[in-house]
Structure 1
Amino acid sequence: MQNLLRSSRALSWLSVLALVFVPACGGGGGGNNGGGATGGTSNPFSPTDLAGAWTGTLVPRANAGLPWSDGEKRILSRNFVVRADGQGNFQFCLPGTEETYDVVAGTARVSQSEIGTQGRFSVTFKELQKNREQLVLVGRLNKARNRIVGEYELRSRTENTTGNEVEAVDAGDFELLLSSGVGHFQPSDLEGTWSGRNYHYAPRYSNMSITIDSNGSVTAGGIETASDTYPFALDGSNDLLFGLLTDTSIGMIENVVITLESGVQVKMLYALVDDGGRYITGPLEDNHGKITYFRLVRQ
């Protein structure tokens, strides 16, 4: 597999991401991103403009020539979350995979540039426990300070390297919207019928659907592979599963154990609903410990 840092096709992408490797100070700021105040020009943006919880979507592009290519033919778009403290220092991220980047818990570290006069900044979340993943975001905050758009790259070591080299997993565009805080999302946001994919990477896709009533109970659905169908149990074992959100500021529910009709159980490590209530996505663990990812669309 071609290494990203040695791939000529990736040079243009890396030139954009060069912002990320500017040293940060104090765990969050430091290093100008090229858009900062110069020549006495005042900066209308402050690091504190990034404070709060942000929810949004990662949308992969075709990524021609990189190890994981073909955009959504290989890796589906997914919801993700970042959170910054009151000083605008990013400390937490759920990237849509099974990993959680949590600076306070010691599972990640963050490198972050200053925010420039045009609202541009960069941030890198580096996962520490397995030393495999890092998520790079290069974004621009709007004038209303409630929306960030930009480009991302999620990289992972997929073969033995010297330790300083990483390989591309996927890259594309992202959007984040500022949450109003606790209560921004409600359990009722999960009510309805959802269907879509449960997958690892192509061609390993299966169909998945779920219907959630106003009490948060599962009333229909299951997982369907090319050869078998695994309905969710409707005997009461899946009642009230989605009745409470774990975090109403980011639309997250975690550790949801769903029982199949056969008695086998699968676990949603976490599920995120997007701000528009269109998608539910997250990682799913089966009874053998295998991780897949689901993306369900409201019907």
Structure 2
Amino acid sequence: MLGCHDEDTVIRRKNRSQSGATTFSHLDLAGDWTGILIPDNPTFQTTNLYLRWDDFAELFEAATGAGDEWMPSNASLFSSMDVAGETAVMLQEAGDDLAALNLAMNLSEDKNRLTGTAEIRRYGVLQNTGTVELTRSLGPGHFQVSSHLAGSWTGTVSRNGFQRPVTLNLDELGSVLGGSAGPRNFDTSGANTGIFTFSNDAVGRLDHIVIHSIDGTTQTVGFWLVDDSGTYMGGPGFDSNLGNRGGLVHLSKVSKPN
């Protein structure tokens, strides 16, 4: 549980203080962090995540590939760190499904990696637990289309317990070379040239990308996140043929461009 320390944690804190190890400050969190949530329940999929702290280490934005976003306008955001590098993050949405994310993490000695445990709640009910791994972003330009997006992706779009397959093939300029979402085959004649670009290349976020299919429908990226290794990508998506009702897209990269 967040805020509870097991015996190993207490020993680790004591050893750090006695050995003269690095002393940490909350200001060490300033900047952008990206990573993944790995669920304990295998029926849930690995999800991307980012957290953003300003120069004063105030947490001001967070999102996951499950379609949840936390900002001061719609949520409460809290973080703390002690001198041993033990970090707590609590995110609570004010409306909709009251999505909450609690993280208990430790900062690495080089201050570039946060690892720990996660609790995900909806409507106040514990939905899942898991582990979290976050890496400090280098800032603007950290994510690149040619290295993080280009390649062949495969996965699913899920809605109300139903899934359909999704494939996506992107070149190094973000153009769609092929793919499909269920029965809809993506247009490769030029309508989807260069459409995959980052809206925030410090955290690997893409927003409002419209993919044209050969049957005249469109499939729209609400917002998607990519992990630091360019392995996982996903988030909410919408289909014009379904009245723009949406689902959650989870994709894994299966190959890089030749």
TM-score, structure 1 normalization: 0.75
Offset of residue 268 of structure 1:
0.9
Match runs of 1:217-232 below 5 Å: 217-224=175-182, 229-232=183-186
Aligned to 1:178: 136
Would the aligned equivalents of 2:235 and 2:248 in 1 still touch at CA under 8 Å? yes
The structure where strand makes up a greater share of residues is 2
Task: Report the secondary structure of 2:128's partner residue.
Answer: strand
Aligned to 2:10: none
Task: Report the secondary structure of 1:48's partner residue.
Answer: helix
Aligned to 2:151: 192
What letter matches 1:53 in structure 2?
A: D
What letter matches 1:235 in structure 2?
A: S
Offset of residue 201 of structure 1:
6.1
Distance (Å, rounded) in 2 between the aligned partners of 1:246 and 1:89 = 22
- 1:235 equivalent among 189, 192, 206: 189
Q: Does 1:56 align with 2:56?
A: no
Q: Percent identity?
A: 28
Task: Report the secondary structure of 1:17's partner residue.
Answer: coil
Would the aligned equivalents of 1:75 and 1:201 in 2 still touch at CA under 8 Å? no
Aligned to 1:68: none
Would the aligned equivalents of 1:79 and 1:272 in 2 still touch at CA under 8 Å? yes
Would the aligned equivalents of 2:64 and 2:225 in 1 still touch at CA under 8 Å? no
Q: Does 1:78 align with 2:37?
A: no
Distance (Å, rounded) in 2 between the aligned partners of 1:285 and 1:154 = 24
Offset of residue 290 of structure 1:
2.6
Q: Does 1:119 align with 2:85?
A: yes
TM-score, structure 2 normalization: 0.86
Offset of residue 18 of structure 1:
3.9
Task: Report the CA distance shift for 1:211/1:42 in structure 2 as closer, same or farther (over 3 A).
Answer: closer
Q: What residue ranges of structure 1 are gaps of 5+ in the alignment?
A: 1-15, 20-34, 63-70, 158-165
Distance (Å, rounded) in 1 between the aligned partners of 2:128 and 2:142 = 30
Offset of residue 131 of structure 1:
5.9
Aligned to 2:58: 89
Would the aligned equivalents of 2:101 and 2:118 in 1 still touch at CA under 8 Å? yes
What letter matches 1:292 in structure 2?
A: G
What letter matches 1:238 in structure 2?
A: N
Task: Report the CA distance shift for 1:42/1:147 in structure 2 as closer, same or farther (over 3 A).
Answer: closer
- 1:109 equivalent among 76, 80, 85: 76
User: 1:23-58 CA deviation, whole Å, 9 max, x = no partner?
Assistant: xxxxxxxxxxxx6999xx998000111111000001
Q: What residue ranges of structure 2 are gaps of 5+ in the alignment?
A: 5-12
Aligned to 1:270: 223
Would the aligned equivalents of 2:71 and 2:77 in 1 still touch at CA under 8 Å? no
How many residue pairs end up in the alignment?
243
Aligned to 1:290: 245
Would the aligned equivalents of 1:43 and 1:116 in 2 still touch at CA under 8 Å? no
What letter matches 2:154 in structure 1?
A: S
Aligned to 2:211: 258
- 2:109 equivalent among 132, 143, 158: 143
Task: Report the CA distance shift for 1:266/1:118 in structure 2 as closer, same or farther (over 3 A).
Answer: same
User: 1:267-297 CA deviation, whole Å, 9 max, x = no partner?
Assistant: 1111222111112122112222333222212
User: 1:146-190 CA deviation, whole Å, 9 max, x = no partner?
Assistant: 000111111111xxxxxxxx1122221110000011111112131
The two structures, once aligned, show a CA RMSD in angstroms of 2.5
